[in-house]
Amino acid sequence: MRLHSSPRLLALSVAPLVVNSLQLPFGITLPAALDSRLSSLRTAVTQIQVPSFINKIIDPTGSSPLLSLHRDLVGIPSVTGDEEAVARFLEAYLLAKNFRVELIPVASPEYPAGQKRYNVLAYPAGGSRKAPILLTSHIDTVPPFIPFKDGLRTVYGRGSCDAKASVAAQIIAVEELLAANAVTEDTVALLFVVGEETTGDGMRHMNTLDMQWEAVVFGEPTELKLAVGHKGLAMLTVEARGRASHSGYPNLGVNANSHLINALYKLDHLTLPSSKLLGNSTLNVGMMTGGVAANVIPAFASAEVAIRIAAKSFQEVKDIVEGALKDVEGVEATWKQPFYDPVFCDHDIEGFDTIATSYGTDIPNLAGKHKKYLYGPGSILVAHGDNEKIDKSDLYEAVKGYKRIVKGILNAKAVAIVPPESASASAPVVTEAETVEAVTVSAKVEVPEVPANRGAEGKNGKEEEKVEYVTILPVDTA
Ligand SMILES: *[C@@H]1O[C@H](CO)[C@@H](O)[C@H](O)[C@H]1NC(C)=O
């Protein structure tokens, strides 16, 4: 109603909105004032009946299946341990879109009794849970919950980037692939797991279900680039023990802090493996405690250390660290969970920039010989911050990206998929895969054997052979 009383406002606001609906390229920002004008205008407009084309301009989120699914997901709090509501939402959403949905309970002794946590597995109603291609991401977020907030070209809220942007884009991508007959119903499944942000218990639970896939596309923020892999992780506590005494008589005591300093100096100057693909391993002494007062020889000191492993394995890095600490008096290293080797991802699909990431994912938690792709909208740099956000244009781009990856997987394997009911028909159903030979006339998806040695060590064997050992100096002395 205020719309009529304020024609000037309308004139000011609609022009940029029309531009926005055409998906502005990155880097073009509109004044914040317009954003708030938009909000008040939108509020005014939702209270009156308007033709749908106006609604599309005024409320691009509400009228976009992608943006509104994303908004609904972000609006549901789902800090790790508290994922039931978002799982139930996805169940209802996917059922309504003609998917079969399994809520897979994940036992969680560490959370309050009665707390229900579910992984959500979905596949087209005419398909099967044995689909060869899986798109997966996680539905839990880090704390605290931050409500959804809409902006002109960016939306905010906890999980808006990590990883509900991936969840929404994967769902819409599969819906669009099916609608366009670009894949058959038995080609693709969706899996959204709990617990990624803490222990990975949701994904590891899948290993108990005797399921396997030919290719798995993991959704995490990779800035719309195809990840070549991510570093491995080792974490340890270094403890130093001494004997307390008066600081005036140090010969009567043993200084635990001195032991710890010796140990940490060695760790800070370690020579660790690096690879061309993932760069240098890095080591961070993240926390130190020791002693009780300036005039007491400390009896105990400890430090927490995290190492991001760029080449070789957790075991190799553990051996290097233990070798370095062997001759340091009075210290002991305790290795912590979780730990994992560097992860090397498949990135054999044309048309994507690549990226090496330094954060952990669920990839090492899912056992099997599947191909591994890692891709998603948004930047990890905002993922866990107070200002978590995602550009709407990135969400749209990610839908295209996931579709291209699925088609690329099908292309690469030259898979011809024919639905069971038309097994005698000759037309292949993989419409976009022009290089695919339509030779297989069977209901089965035929995929070449994956060599048994692929995976963490195997896949990029050539690149990985070039392991160098690099000493990262802790302080930039320049
Ligand atoms: C790895 O570390 C070496 C030595 O500090 C440095 O010269 C090099 O630039 C680093 N490489 C990368 C990719 O950060």
CB-based contact 154:24 (threshold 8 Å): no
Residue 100 and residue 161 in one domain: yes
Q: Is 465 a catalytic residue?
A: no
- Record the tokens describing residue 240, joined without a space: 């130093």
Q: What is the pLDDT of residue 465?
A: 55
Gap from CA of 262 to ligand 1 centroid (Å) = 24
Is the pLDDT at 12 greater than 60? The verdict is: no
Sorting pLDDT into bands at 50, 70 and 90, what band is 453?
very low
Determine whether the shortest distance from the Cβ of 280 to ligand 1 is under 6 A: yes
**Which has more confidence, 409 or 475?**
409
Q: Are residues 77 and 213 in the same domain?
A: yes
Residues 70 and 39 in one domain: no
Number of domains in the chain: 3
The per-residue pLDDT for 3 is 28
Reduced DSSP (H G I as helix, E B as strand, rest coil) percent helix, strand, coil of the chain, to 5: 30, 25, 45
Comparing 150 with 474, the larger pLDDT belongs to 150
Does the pLDDT at position 432 exceed 90? Answer: no
Q: What are phi and psi of 160, to 5 degrees?
A: -60, -30
What pLDDT was estimated at residue 48?
59
User: Which residues form the domain of 31?
Assistant: 2-58
CA of 274 to the centre of ligand 1 (A): 9
- The verdict on 157 and 254 lying in the same domain is no
pTM: predicted TM-score of the whole model, two decimal places: 0.73
**Residue bearing the CA closest to ligand 1, atom 1:** 280
Please state, in angstroms and rounded to a whole number, the distance separating the CA atoms of residues 132 and 448. Answer: 12
CB 68 within 8 A of CB 61: yes
Q: What is the pLDDT of residues 276-285, one digit of tens each?
A: 999 999 999 9
> Measured between alpha carbons, how far is residue 458 from residues 71, 201, 364 in Å?
40, 26, 14
Q: Is residue 313 located within the same domain as residue 386? A: no
Domain identity same for 319 and 334: yes
Cβ of 470 closer than 6 Å to ligand 1, yes or no, is yes
Sequence-distant (6+) residues with CB within 8 A of 378 are 160, 161, 162, 165, 221, 223, 389, 390, 391, 394
Tell me the average pLDDT across 315-343: 95
In terms of domains, do 165 and 268 share one?
Answer: no
Catalytic pick among 83, 196, 239, 464: 196
Give me the mean pLDDT over the 397-402 stretch: 98
Alpha carbons 337 and 360: distance in angstroms, whole number: 13
Q: For the chain, what percent of residues have pLDDT higher than 90? A: 65
398 within a domain of the structure (yes/no) = yes
Instruction: Please give the number of the atom of ligand 1 that sits closest to the Cα of 280.
Output: 1
For residue 454, tell me if it sits in a domain: no
CA distance 403 to 176: 8
For a pocket test of ligand 1, which of 271, 278, 355, 470 has the largest count of ligand atoms closer than 8 A to its C-beta? 470
Asked if residue 478 is part of any domain, the answer here is no
Banded pLDDT at 34 (limits 50, 70, 90): low
d(CA 67, CA 42): 16
With the C-alpha atoms ordered 38, 43, 46, 51, is the resulting torsion angle positive or negative? negative
State the pLDDT confidence band at 63, using cuts at 50, 70 and 90. Answer: confident
Q: Is residue 194 part of a domain?
A: yes
> Has residue 456 been placed in a domain?
no
- Per-residue pLDDT band for 55 (boundaries 50, 70, 90) equals low
My answer on whether 359 and 211 are in the same domain is yes
Query: 456: CA distance to ligand 1 center in Å?
Result: 23
156 and 221 in a single domain? The answer is yes
| Chain mean pLDDT for the chain | 82
Any domain includes 441: no
- Point out the domain boundary residue: 12, 42, 58: 58
Residues 155 and 265 in one domain: no
CA distance 282 to 318: 13
> Can you read off the two tokens belonging to residue 325?
């600490």
Instruction: Decide which of 77 and 114 is more confident.
Output: 77
Residue 49 identity: Q
Neighbours of 458 (CB within 10 A): 14
pLDDT in tens, 66-97: 999 999 999 999 999 999 999 999 999 999 99
Ligand 1 within 6 A of 50 CB? no
Q: Is the pLDDT of residue 422 over 60?
A: no
Q: Place 98 in a pLDDT band, splitting at 50, 70 and 90.
A: very high
Same domain, 300 and 319: yes
What distance in Å separates the CA atoms of residue 281 and residue 278, rounded to the nearest whole number? 8
**Contact between residue 363 and residue 373 where contact means Cβ atoms under 8 Å apart:** no
| Index of the ligand 1 atom closest to the CA of residue 279 | 13
Q: Output DSSP code: residue 456.
A: T
Which strand ranges, in their side-by-side order, compose the sheet holding 282-290? 282-290, 300-309, 232-241, 331-340
Strands 300-309 vs 232-241: parallel, antiparallel or unpaired: antiparallel
Grouping H, G, I as helix, E, B as strand and the rest as coil, residue 94 is: helix
Ligand 1 atom closest to 274 (CA): 1
Domain membership of residue 112 (yes or no) is yes
Centroid of ligand 1 to alpha carbon of 469 (angstroms): 10
Given this model, what pLDDT does residue 41 score?
60
pLDDT band (50, 70, 90) for residue 17: very low
* Shortest-distance Cα residue to atom 13 of ligand 1: 279
Amino acid in position 17 = L
Q: Quick check: 441 pLDDT over 60?
A: no
138 and 209 inside one domain: yes
CATH number at residue 328: 3.30.70.360
| Closest-CA residue to 232 (of 373, 356, 360) | 360
Span from the CA of 326 to the centroid of ligand 1 (angstroms): 27
Structure token pair of residue 459:
């896949």
> Can you tell me the mean pLDDT for 231-251?
93
Two structure tokens written together for 23: 């998906």
State the pLDDT at residue 108. Answer: 80
What DSSP designation does 250 have? G
Q: How many CB atoms lie within 10 A of CB 203?
A: 25
User: Across residues 397-403, what is the average pLDDT?
Assistant: 98
Residues 275 and 467: beta-carbon distance below 8 Å: yes
Label residue 233 exposed, middle or buried (CB < 10 Å: 0-12, 13-18, 19+). buried
pLDDT of residue 65: 96
Q: Is the backbone of residue 157 left (phi > 0), alpha (psi -120 to 50) or beta? A: left
CB of 279 closer than 6 angstroms to any ligand 1 atom: yes
* Token pair listed for 474: 């802790």
CB 62 near ligand 1, within 6 Å: no
Residue 415 pLDDT greater than 90, yes or no = no
Could you tell me the distance, in angstroms and rounded to a whole number, from the CA of residue 288 to the centre of ligand 1?
26
The residue with tokens 């550009």 is: 391
Q: Sheet with 99-105: list strands edge to edge.
A: 99-105, 118-124, 188-193, 133-138, 215-219, 371-375
pLDDT at 320 over 70: yes
| pLDDT of 321 higher than 90 | yes
Evaluate the omega torsion of the peptide bond into residue 163 and state whether it is cis, within 30 degrees of 0.
Answer: yes
Q: Whose CA is nearest to atom 4 of ligand 1?
A: 472
Angle at alpha carbon of residue 409, lines to 407 and 411, rounded to 5°: 65
Residue 434 lies in a domain: no
The stretch 399-414 carries a mean pLDDT of: 90
